[in-house]
Amino acid sequence: MNFHTLSQLAALAAERNTEIGALMLEEQSAESGRPADAEFAKMKEYYGVMKEAVQRGMTENTTSRSGLTGLDAQRVGAYNASGESCLGGPSGQAMAYALAVSEVNASMGRIIATPTAGSCGIIPGVFLSCQERFGWDDDKMTYGLFAAGAIGYVIANNSFVSGAEGGCQAEVGSAIGMAAGALTELRGGTPAQAVHAVGLALKNTLGLICDPVGGLVEIPCIVRNGFGAVTALAAADMALAGVRSVIPSDEVIKVMLEVGSSMPEKHRETAGGGLAQTPTGRKIMEDLRGSRREEKLES
Amino acid sequence: MRFKDVFSIIGPAMVGPSSSHTAGAARIGRAARQLLGEMPQKAEVIFYGSFAATYQGHGTDRAIAGGLLDFATDDLRLPDSIELAEAAGMDLSFRQGAGLFPHPNTVRLELAGESGGLSLTGISIGGGNIEIVEIDGFSVKLSGMYPTVLIHHMDYLGVLAGVTDTMRRGRVNIGHMSLDRKNRSGAALTVLELDERLAPELAAELMALPAVQSVKLIHLEEGEKKPAESAGVEGMKEEKGKE
């Protein structure tokens, strides 16, 4: 790739007079040696898998194998439909869809890791709800995924995207930044505005620990995907309105690296701290171990 | 660059719940299966770090078993792979390892097949991306992102020249190359990551080089992203019979 930082990415897009998504498609094709339409088709297929996961999560039983989670997307969907929700339509829809995909993931269904499976709800939640609202076609959404990928590529290579390495900020935080930047571009923002959206979003998740109960990608991961979708919409709105990330987004990414690296191991996906070690978290863990022992005795 | 392209960020298409514990583990298992070149009859799986702490809840054991059956990350049979592997005659065991390990998500595989064995250590670095760091006692570094060739040979003057010349004549570009040897004039392993697949004729040419003992290929991208049709246990047995 011909860029390593977000400022290089924005400068390159401006220089070539193109959008981040189209630029990334070009760069990807050069990197892989495959024609651009083949790469585009693969990404479009991925978008199809995302749509399928939203559909499944909103209509089918998503109770996880542990029995701890499931069907919250449908609860939120029904509440949105009642007209009583605090957020209001579009944000509520993004939240419901994000929950839906994360619940499909927890129940061992098929999803696209964006950038990881633990954070797989945010981009589909934001993308599908906005597609419905603004009437965009799938090709436009596919370019949006390339834009999100370009942003994630910079974050991953300058910091990290996994909870085990950098806490939840790396996982859910990166996904929020990617969704915010891509949505800013989809709504007509400039590459520079998209980059500001990334910084605004990432700043708001710095320090977020990875503390999955029982070590599973369920609690609190699923609800964090729901919140993440809403945060991404907010960051895009701020950037489109002209709000800037005063600390440049590339510096925010470096801060994420610093904060994540200094996080104690117990807060990095080991279930050794945080919510996982609350009295209830510990009880759930013991119950899970107990039910596994029973499974073994039966077999 | 740890993450090489857009699809290492958006993707892989996978069966949940965890990209590092499930998709990454499946890809490590699949790399081992392809290197062994046959269905393992016995597979000892040793988990370290976060893998050891949470493998049951994340289905990391199922993912490894699926990989050993050569399933892609989005194969819908992954949740049932332990049962499928056992039905196909694989003797699988899982345990938690002790001692030092190179990454929070590390797995070591000890495999035995009809015609040989393999030991391999893999790490899962996030988002389904992996690195294989050790094979049969050799230090390696391969990501599985590219078509990969592994050449077991003796440490012998001119082997690499023969390998690279074969690639040049076949017009296949090498993106990354590493060599590790047990000792001077002893056993060595060379790993090549290529920009495209290696044709069978070129693999045969490599095999014919002096001091080369085996040539093995890994193609992890194959089958990923395409919805896999569900196949029963019978399918597994047939596959075993063929090998």
- pLDDT (tens place) for every residue of chain A, 299 residues total: 999 999 999 999 999 999 999 999 999 999 988 999 999 999 999 999 999 999 999 999 999 988 999 999 999 999 999 999 999 889 999 999 999 999 999 999 999 999 999 999 999 999 999 999 999 999 999 999 999 999 999 999 999 998 988 999 999 999 999 999 999 999 999 999 999 999 999 999 999 999 999 889 999 999 999 999 999 999 999 999 999 999 999 999 999 999 999 999 999 988 899 999 999 999 998 888 777 666 666 65
Nearest by CB to residue A215, choosing from B8, B14, B57, is B57
Tokens of A235: 């960051």
Is B15–A109 a contact, with Cβ atoms under 8 angstroms apart? yes
Rounded Cα–Cα distance for residues B33 and B37 (Å): 6
Assigned CATH topology for domain A6-298: 2-methylcitrate dehydratase PrpD (1.10.4100)
- Is B178:B141 a contact under the CB 8 Å cutoff? yes
Contact residues, chain A, for B6 at CB < 8 Å:
24, 27-28, 39, 43, 146, 149-150, 153
Give the closest of A32, A216, A292 to B17, CB-based. A216
Chain-chain contact of A64 with B17 (C-beta, under 8 angstroms): yes
Mean pLDDT by 10 residues, chain B (243 residues): 90 92 96 95 95 87 97 94 96 94 93 95 92 96 92 95 96 94 95 93 96 94 51 35 36
Nearest to B18 among A49, A117, A148 (CB): A117
A195 phi/psi in degrees, rounded to 5: -65, -40
Interface test mutation site (partner B, options A154, A216, A286, A295, max chain B beta carbons within 10 A): A216
- Nearest by CB to B13, from A33, A49, A104: name it: A49
pTM of structure? 0.90
Partners of residue B61 in chain A, C-beta under 8 Å: none
Between CA A248 and CA A117 the distance in angstroms is 28
Considering only CB atoms, which chain A residues are within 8 Å of B105? Answer: 164
How far A7 CA lies from chain B's nearest CA (Å)? 18
